[in-house]
Structure 1
Amino acid sequence: MEDAGEKEGLLIQEDLDEKYPDRPRNHSKTLPFHELYQNLFDPLNNNKKKPTGPVVPRRRVGPNGPSSRNPHEIRQNIVERFISRWRTEVGDDIHPAFRLILPEKDRERPMYGLKESIIAKLLIQAMKIHKDSEDATSLRNWKLPGQTTASRMAGDFAGRCYEVISKRPVLSSPGTMTIGEVNDLLDKLAATGKQEDQAKIFSEFYRRMNPEELKWLIRIILRQMKIGASEKTIFEIWHPDAASLFNICSNLRRVCWELPDPKIRLGGEDRGVTLMSCFQPQLAQFQMHSFEKMVARMQPTEDDPTFWIEEKLDGERMQLHMIEDEETPGGKRFGFWSRKAKDYCYLYGHGFEDDNSALTRHLRDAFDDGVDNIILDGEMITWDMGEDLMVPFGTLKTAAKEQQANPFSRGWRPLFRVFDILYLNGTVLTNYTLRDRRSALERAVKSVTRRLEIHTYVEAKSVSEIDPLLRKVVQEASEGLVLKNPRSAYKLNDRNDDWMKVKPEYMNEFGENLDLVIIGGYYGSGHRGGKLSSFMCGLRVDENHVAAGADPMQFHSFMKVGGGFTSSDYAAIRHKTDGKWKKFDPKKPPLKYMVLACGGGRFYEQPDEWILPSDSVVVEVKAASIATTDLFKTGFTLRFPRFKRLREDRNWENALSLSGFQKLRMEAETERKTKAFQVDDSRRKRQRTSKKKPLKIAGSETVADNLFEPSEARIFNGLDFYVMTGSPKPNKKSKSELEQMIKAHGGNIVQHARKADTVCIADHKSVSVASAMKRKESDLIRPSWLFDNIKQSEIDAGRPNFLLPFEPKHAFDTKENSGTDPESNVDMYGDSYARDTTIEELRSILNEMPTKFEHKFNSSEFRRELEDHGHGLEELPGWLFEGLLLYLDDRNGGMIMIQNIARFAGAKMSDKLEEGVTHIVIGEDQSRLRELRGKMSHFSGSLPRVVSTEWVKQSWEEKTLLDEEST
């Protein structure tokens, strides 16, 4: 086996040498592994911000002052120092380090197949401690609070390992293992599935590493780094094109080996998606509260107010590549990759004649005869042929394997729903509009019923068309909707306003309020580590379902709830159940009292602890809808459940039973059919023009010379302008449009900043802008300075023209010692000395003093990073009230603190009661409640909730949105 492994390694190395003949070579051995945590991981972790309350922005002291760098700049500096040291001391091949810094992006190293429980077992063997010792038990039960270890480590497996290893370290100081040696051992660990081989590898790690190194090694193996810097930040510091290249290839090695020199940039031909190379797909933006705002973000015009509405599918994002290949039977070879770049050809097939294919063998008629090669973007879902409906997420692999064995089975099968095309017959289509891409898709692809289908959409022109469709898909237990801008290009690995998802998440009008008995509990992680933070609830087996000889206290598992609990709710549950919980042992399950779904010799969903129903409590739970599942014994569960209140007036005997639930379900189904929302079929059947228009590249149209009429106010006379980028919102102009505007006002356009007094215009970090920022040869000014000058010249018509001085909002990037001091041209609150302030600016200055300091935090990017790492925003104070629009009925001016709390937690405020308000906040004086409700009765949309100031305070204190009816 050793010889076979070595031969395989040599073959791989030969392939790499052939593929990358000019790859970079290191001149020295890699850095010690401990340099990673000492000079990168720990410094980045220490730089993480931990806000505990509203933060008042502070004025920067100066370029050399203690507050002159924000956390993002500090983060960049830490990464820059490490990369610079690597280049100097090791060489230009940073791939060995990146494999450990970004383990979740290393697609070449297989998954280790090691969960926390197996790693705990391997460490116990390596440390040679008794399996029943206190420390061994602590490792296995890492979610539980330790008896002698600090409870803060409960829920942090790597932290728990560090505590246990620290008691018996082989090395007290950092070890001598290099990054290259660690990679070699990890490659062996990933290649073996034998526990005895894994134990030998862990023993060597234990022998040659100190506890701190082992802690980070475990995080690398689990791919749970959380170092405080995204891959985008690290990529951009390595090379300005690294993130772009990773977006189109998802290959960490290629990024490192093709871009060793930051001075050598990617050419245009290397920046597009390529056949049989997995790209990072475009993502949908998070939902805003107002549909009006969502549609407005798509920049509709009077000539083209259209936006598209698609059903959001509950499957797995998938890209399909097809290429001509004479060696593949049938002449075409396929590639399938998930959003995380996992290769799925082994399931869905390599070609038309692949006998082990779950999909491709059925696709001979899916493409037009003229299609030679193609890349499609879509969603792979599971379809139930018997019921003719979509099956919820989590069943794809089962359905695919069934189709591999029985290709014409009428049961479950994978169905690929295509909603976009990125490449066709040698042409990259990402820069074409969605409307043009759709036209190409409909000409190139033919739907194959329940195998590969083009996803349908509804053309809409009014916000009012969204709500009926949303209600319809929720009633059908679908995921929600996606709104798309038909005028938009496809942006790789980006989450922007051109695609926006509308998920119901939690809608009372479609929900059920159920009284359920808690039968199990799950330990949490993070600040809830060591405590039961979510619970399994069950349905009582009543006389209509009880089996012969079954205990009358038997319950079937039904659902899991963890949202909506306050600390007082947790405390009440603990008070009533303390000392009554028992550890759940899957080898000895309490089947007399709780029955779980099982299959293949294991339980699908099992709690950490269980409790006798007679010792437990009843909770009232509300949810969006009911869905089928195989995870719970009932076969059904609740979608988006949330705790509402503790039912102290009920016990296990009068909680909801199986018969009661079936009755509720049938009533809900009857009501759904009776009150089904009618969707205007005319919108679905709206005829699109049959005239085939030639494809036009989005944004490539030339701007006519007469787009801007020459202005009498030649305010830019004698100035040279180098326009590097266009202008984003709100004054959205292309680069060409800006140039025409400048010429209309007397300016001269140049293509290089050769003169010192050339005005360089930039508003986002393009390749040329990044190079200019690095050179620091010129100040980079935002296009807003142009607009402000033109506007001021109109206000001062008849007076001598003068150019406005640069303000902080105008400066995109300034060179050192340039003499430009934007700060001196505004007052302490950011108000301009030379320019007339608009009403909107004045309102912003008054409401958000001070506003002159640019905040580099990007919420959209932050959200994307959290989602990529599998984290939500529910525990972050700044997103507690995200999406809410509050109206404060504050006649006496006593709600300032409530307003500050709500704003800090992400809420928007409305100064009047109008459509779109989600919550009305009232104080102790409720005399106007009747008047407010009278105004609400005229609203056409969703009615706002009336809540007290205590609801805002308690939600903030508990760090969760409380039930509006309980406060």
Structure 2
Amino acid sequence: MDSDEIMPGPASNLDEDLDEKYPNRPHNHAPTLPFHELYLKLFDNLSQIKKKPAVSAPARRKAGPNAGHASSNPFELRHDVISRFISRWRKEVGDDIYPAFRLILPDKDRDRPMYGMKEKVIGKMLVKIMKINKESEDGYNLLNWKLPGQSAATRMAGDFAGRCHDVLSKRPMRTEPGDMSIEEVNDKLDKLSAASKEEEQTHIMAEFYRRMNPDELTWLIRMILRQMKVGATERTFFNVWHPDAESLYSISSSLRRVCWELHDPNIRLEAEDRGIGLMQCFQPQLAQFQMHSFDKMILRMRPTEDDPVFWIEEKMDGERLQLHMAPDESIQGGRRFAFWSRKAKEYTYLYGKGIYDENGALTRHLKDAFVDGVQSVILDGEMITWDPEQDAMVPFGTLKTAALAEQRNPFSNGPRPLFRIFDILHLNGRDLTKYTLRDRRNALQKTIRPIHRRFEILPYEEATTAAEIETCLRRVVAQASEGLVLKNPRAQYRLNERHDDWMKVKPEYMTEFGESLDVVVIGGYYGQGHRGGNLASFLCGLRVDDNHSSQGGNPEKFWSFCKVGGGFTAADYQEVRHHTDGKWQKWDPKKPPTHFIELAGGDAQYEKPDMWIKPSESIVLCVKASSISVSDEFRMGLTLRFPRFKKVRKDKNWKTSLSVQEFLDLKSNVEKEQREKEFQVDNSRKQKRVKRAVKKPLNIAGYDDREIVQYAGPSGHIFDELNFFIMTDASAPEKRSKGELEQLVKANGGKVFQTNTAASDTICIADRRTVKVASLQKHGDINLIKPAWVLDCVKQNEKDAGISDYLLPFEPRHMFFTMEDRDDEIKVNVDRFSDSYARDTNVDELKEILNNMAKDEQTNHTLDSRTSQRIENLIQNKINAGYTAPCGWLFRRFTFFFFANDASTEENDSSFNTDDMRLQLARNTARFGGANIATSLKSSDVTHVIINPEILSSEDVASLRESLAARPGTKLPYLVSVAWVEESWTNGTLLDEERFNVPR
């Protein structure tokens, strides 16, 4: 007897396994229908319904009884088309409709792997199969399918399948429908998804080309791309197939189960089959989109007088995952794990199937993560990347890399996966989805033993008002988080549904970032679908100013910075086209326009556009964003998260757009202000609604109508007949908001304007370098005064009550920027130790003056104060002009305290005795770089505390943090690694301290 008759083949084994897993699965009594029946009897008919306008009821009545009985409701028409196809299948083929459904709904078929083929790969294959010249019109249209083509192809730009149909129709192998059956197509697609080489895939595609006409092949390409758009959703197909089909798909994510277990529409799911199950991927609950106001969002969660509470959770920037754990004695450790994403993609291979799985980036750390008695569990949460060195979350996009690194070295100190759990849905055989969120969270707390920075429960805050949402949002955005999720603690878990019980609040809806970002369009990308054939998103750049351009560089040069495609209306696109029509040029990778535009990646040309435009011929767009993130894809090295178009800046050109340095300054200022600003929902780009006329309160330019600033301080006539332009808030000697400063000036007789040109002799007030401040400083024709002068004037006149009001003369400490010809007259108002002749000195200033005296005696007055100040101004002007700072200038104005491994007393003597050679070298470097070295951590002027984290223990670091946090009335200094000093010195510039934060 032949061995083949004894040993069953792979297909037989598969069928036996499926019969065992699905004992009641249906079997067809006849071969499947021809493949072309799908588009002739189903897809084409559904597409025609989408194109037909609905007939109104009066029109049907007017047509009379002889007009026929067919429904004109599009929903009913779609239902009838699908129902006829299913009825025909049952009659001619059988009850197993799975072969057809996996082609009709390819994006719901989780049993067939992804093909690894996108439009570009398929286009190259078709060019090769049909032997088309790449330089010909058809070759160009296939390989550049987003770009407008000639003739009929122009109308299908952005529609790859339509572009393919146009090319295939000119050179078909057959014009009549082919003879391939649905079953045969499925077999070929299985082989196509399993093929690992492009040659194998090309061979299979060539067979499809030989045996299908252009219509069939076009629909096949849509199936491969999983972009069907047949005019009916999966919900419609499910509802026609079986009343419980959608519910079963929600709890299983299995199209196969929907087709096989629900083949009889008269047999309904039992109650015990309607819940989620272990090792069975379900469709999770999703958060509803944000509404126009926080108050409306709260009302939608149905609070009651007895229970008005809602929960606020952080919305993390990671990947939504569900974790299943079930007992399994066949695996070492007795527990089996499985992980699935929101779209039912399995990640068990990445995070581990067992506690002792060597490839488990997470599970190998979960031996003690569950309390005794927990046998099975399903958890819902977010997998994020955590950097232990920074003790902070890493932005989205690095998760898989971190997981693979963790597999290779599970105990490294590099970025690692961290699973944060926010829900429990199954516990020891019991489905918890019908319990309230409050009950589920109680069960979660009693089930999990958190593993620090590996496996944690996401905390939440209870709230009852909209103001609490704003407070939380401000905090999480300051921590570079994605936003918030509001949850109703009284609600059940709703599978595969967006509901008001969960509502997200994301920062891209907020007006938090900066003043305005005016960027220049330097490139364009063609869109898809209804945007096909037109530039739908734009590459925007920042002007390379003198500080960043090489010697002899082109002043019209721009660095790539961000892509903007959201927020445009049809009118906005029309306006962009109006201003740029005829000025676009095709991007040639072999001859990039580096004289005007510089991309990231060098020859790799990251984010290269389809078209480019000279900056001098382009337009300026005003955009907003939620935050800034690091990115290697753009030449700037930074980019915007969720950028949104606001408007075209017709009043600006490339010369007045945002420069690299101005953006860096703006970024620095925004980071300082994030904890002080309030948020408001920005509805400027939302669809406008007709509202009743309501009398609005009068708004004064420069004031926020959300904040009423009340000043209860002294009032008088100090600033009578003086005009002020206040550009920033005050950070020293005390914090005052911009509104408070304006009220203070008005209370003392001054006038406030929102521009320095509104009145003559305007006094400009600034305490940090914003875009407006930098612009005035660049012109150099006006002094910029710190808010400290305003505060000093008010305080001095308060002390001298009864004496006629008088203004204090300007002192060097009052000047943010001083014109060169005014420098000497300002310095004569203080002595050589900076003691004021006209103002009372407080205790802190007196200490500083005495300290200056001691330093002056030690140096024998080598340089008097005027000479020193002149040198400082000279060097600062050179730096502003783009010159490199001298070595001894890098750490000027900073005061460092070097915390040695034996510095538990928080004091270091002048000899700085320590065995840490690295810290000693850094201290010497800092002194050479102009830093002041503090001998006590108690000193109020310490700006940086420098430590060597390799020497100090975590307990020492924690103790040091507590000491810093307890400092009364002073700004917290940075706690940074010694590497900050070393790398800043090596790079010749001050690096961002946040990158060198010492982990907790």
For Structure 1 versus Structure 2, the TM-score category normalised by the shorter chain is 0.5 to 0.7
Alignment match, 1:386: 389
Report the counterpart of residue 486 of structure 1 in structure 2: 489
Match of 1:507 among 482, 505, 510: 510
CA distance in 2, matches of 1:468, 1:885: 29
| Equivalent pair of 2:508/2:642 in contact (CA under 8 Å) | yes
Q: Which runs of 5+ in 1 are unaligned?
A: 678-873, 890-911, 914-919, 921-928, 942-967
Which of residues 18, 40, 43 in structure 1 aligns to 2:42?
40
d(CA) in 1 for partners of 2:267, 2:675: 63
Report the counterpart of residue 164 of structure 1 in structure 2.
167
Amino acid at match of 1:526: G
SS in 2 for 1:458: strand
Task: Encode CA deviations 1:228-255: one digit per residue, 9 max, x unaligned.
Answer: 2221221121112221111111111122
1:235–1:242 contact (8 Å) kept in structure 2: yes
Aligned: 1:219 with 2:222: yes
1:633-663 CA deviation, whole Å, 9 max, x = no partner? 3232223323344445544444322222111
Q: In structure 1, what is the Cα distance between the partners aligned to 2:326 and 2:80? A: 44
Match of 2:23, as an amino acid? P
Distance in 1 (alpha carbons) for counterparts of 2:56 and 2:351:
54
**C-alpha contact 1:28 1:91 (8 A) present in aligned 2:** yes
Do the aligned residues in 1 keep the contact of 2:514 with 2:666 (CA within 8 Å)?
A: no
Matching of residues 129-208 of structure 1 within 5 Å: 129-208=132-211
1:606 lines up with 2:608 in the alignment: yes
Counterpart for residue 343 of structure 1: 346
Contact kept in structure 2, 1:511 and 1:625, CA below 8 Å: no
Q: Give distance in 2, aligned partners of 1:499 and 1:674.
A: 28
Q: Which amino acid aligns with 2:363?
A: T
The residue type paired with residue 617 of structure 1 is: I
Residue type of the alignment partner of 1:255: V
| Structure 2 counterpart of 1:562 | 565
Alpha-carbon spacing, 1:240–1:216, altered in 2? closer, same or farther (3 Å): same
Deviation at 1:179, TM superposition (A): 0.7
CA drift of 1:484 comes to 1.2
Shift of 1:940: 8.7
Q: Which secondary structure does the structure 2 equivalent of 1:375 belong to?
A: strand
In 2 relative to 1, CA 634–90 (structure 1 residues): closer, same or farther, beyond 3 Å? same
AA aligned opposite 2:148? P
- Decide which moves more: 370-379 or 402-411: 402-411
Please say which structure displays the higher CA radius of gyration: 2
**Are residues 1:545 and 2:349 paired?**
no
Query: 2:587, 2:612 within 8 Å by CA — same for their partners in 1?
Result: yes
- Residue 91 of structure 1 aligns with an amino acid whose one-letter code is G
Amino acid at match of 2:380: D
Q: Is this contact kept in 1: 2:82–2:240, CA < 8 A?
A: yes
Please tell me the residue identity of whatever aligns with 2:224.
Answer: I
**Residue in structure 2 matched with residue 871 of structure 1 by the alignment:** none
Deviations 1:316-371 (A, max 9, x none): 11000111122222221110000111010111111111222211111222111221
Task: Give CA-to-partner distance per residue, 1:861-902, whole Å, 9 cap, x none.
Answer: xxxxxxxxxxxxx9xxxx9955x665343xxxxxxxxxxxxx
Q: Could you report, residue by residue, the CA deviation over 1:818-855 in whole angstroms, capped at 9, with x for unpaired residues?
A: xxxxxxxxxxxxxxxxxxxxxxxxxxxxxxxxxxxxxx
In the alignment, what sits opposite 2:314?
A: 311
Aligned residues of 1:513 and 1:623 also touching (Cα < 8 A) = no
Instruction: Supply the distance in 2 between the matched residues of 1:465 and 1:301 (Cα, whole angstroms).
Output: 18
Residue 662 (structure 2) pairs with residue 887 (structure 1) = no
1:613 to 1:7, Cα distance in 2 relative to 1, 3 A: farther
Contact 1:152-1:527 at 8 Å conserved across structures? no
Task: Give secondary structure in 1 for the equivalent of 2:151.
Answer: coil
Amino acid at match of 1:19: K
Q: Cα gap change, 1:581/1:386 in structure 2, threshold over 3 Å: closer, same or farther?
A: farther
Q: 2:421 aligns with which of 409, 418, 422?
A: 418
1:301 equivalent among 301, 304, 313: 304
1:376 maps to 379
What CA RMSD, in Å, does the superposition of the two structures yield over aligned residues?
A: 3.2
Three-state SS of the structure 2 residue aligned to 1:97 is helix
* Deviation sequence 1:198-221 (CA, Å, 0-9, x none): 222111111111111111111100
- Structure 2 CA distance for partners of 1:604 and 1:447, relative to 1, 3 Å: farther
Give the 3 Å change call, closer, same or farther, for CA 934–644 of structure 1 in structure 2.
Answer: closer
Q: What is the deviation of 1:189?
A: 0.8
Q: For 1:36, give the aligned amino acid.
A: L
* Aligned CA distance change for structure 1 residues 578 and 236 (closer, same or farther; 3 Å): closer
1:625 to 620, 624, 627: 627
Instruction: Report whether the alignment pairs 1:268 with 2:271.
Output: yes
- Judge which range, 543-552 or 319-328, deviates more: 543-552
Against the structure 1 CA distance between its residues 576 and 297, is the aligned structure 2 distance closer, same or farther, given a 3 Å change threshold? closer
Asked if the contact 2:607–2:634 (Cα under 8 Å) also holds between the matched residues in 1, the reply is yes
The aligned counterpart of 2:452 is 449
The more displaced of 258-267 and 569-578 is: 569-578
Q: What is the CA deviation profile of residues 709-748 of structure 1, one whole-angstrom value per residue up to 9, with x for unaligned ones?
A: xxxxxxxxxxxxxxxxxxxxxxxxxxxxxxxxxxxxxxxx
1:673-730, CA deviations, whole angstroms, 9 ceiling, x for partnerless residues?
45589xxxxxxxxxxxxxxxxxxxxxxxxxxxxxxxxxxxxxxxxxxxxxxxxxxxxx
Does the CA contact (< 8 Å) of 1:475 and 1:510 recur in 2? Answer: no
Tell me, yes or no, if the aligned pair for 1:512 and 1:625 is still in contact at 8 Å: no
Deviation at 1:526, TM superposition (A): 2.7
Q: Is the 8 A contact 1:60 1:68 kept in 2?
A: no
Aligned-partner residue type, residue 659 of structure 1 = Q
**Runs of 5+ unmatched residues, structure 2:** 710-1000
The reply to whether residue 86 of structure 1 matches residue 89 of structure 2 is yes
Q: Which residue of 2 aligns with 1:435?
A: 438
Distance 1:182-1:545 versus aligned 2 partners, 3 A rule? same
Q: Which amino acid aligns with 1:177?
A: M
Contact 1:521 1:534 in 2 (8 A): yes
Q: Return closer, same or farther for 1:171/1:395 CA change in 2, 3 Å cut-off.
A: same
* Cα distance in structure 1, aligned partners of 2:490 and 2:642: 34
Distance in 2 of aligned mates of 1:369 and 1:230 = 45
Residues 482-532 of structure 1, C-alpha deviations (whole Å, 9 max, x = no match): 111111111211122211222243322434412222221100123321111
1:357 and 2:360 matched: yes
State the TM-score, normalized to the length of structure 1. Answer: 0.68
Task: Rate the CA distance shift 1:71–1:936 in 2: closer, same or farther, 3 A.
Answer: farther
Return the alpha-carbon distance in structure 2 between the equivalents of residues 99 and 13 of structure 1. 18
Displacement, 1:586? 4.4
For residues 188 and 671 of structure 2, the distance between their equivalents in structure 1, rounded to whole angstroms, comes to 57
Please give the alpha-carbon distance, in whole angstroms, between the structure 2 residues aligned to 1:574 and 1:486. 49
Distance 1:413 1:439 in 2: 28
Identity %: 62
The structure with higher relative contact order (CA 8 Å, sep 6+) is: 1
How many residues are aligned here? 698
Aligned position for 1:237: 240
CA distance in 2, matches of 1:881, 1:646: 17
**Is the partner of 1:149 in helix, strand or coil?**
helix
Amino acid at match of 1:630: D
Q: Which residue, 391, 396, 400 being the options, matches 2:399?
A: 396
Tell me whether 1:405 sits opposite 2:408 in the alignment.
Answer: yes
> What amino acid is the match of 2:167?
V
Distance 1:499 1:162, change over 3 A: same
Q: What letter is aligned with 2:607?
A: E
Alignment-mate amino acid for residue 484 of structure 1: K
Equivalent residue number for residue 328 of structure 2? 325
Q: Specify the SS of the correspondent of 1:378.
A: strand
Distance 1:237 1:78 in 2: 10
Instruction: Report the Cα distance in structure 1 between the residues aligned to 2:220 and 2:81, rounded to whole angstroms.
Output: 20
Aligned residues of 2:283 and 2:496 also touching (Cα < 8 A): yes
- What is the Cα deviation at residue 304 of structure 1? 1.6
C-alpha spacing 1:298/1:655, structure 2 compared with 1 (3 Å): closer
Distance of 1:159 and 1:662 partners within structure 2: 45
Q: Give 1:630-641 correspondences, 5 Å limit.
A: 630-641=632-643
Q: 1:117 to 1:327 in 2, by over 3 A?
A: same
1:350 partner SS = coil
Distance in 2, matches of 1:603 and 1:452, equals: 39
- For residue 667 of structure 1, the aligned residue among 646, 669, 678 is 669
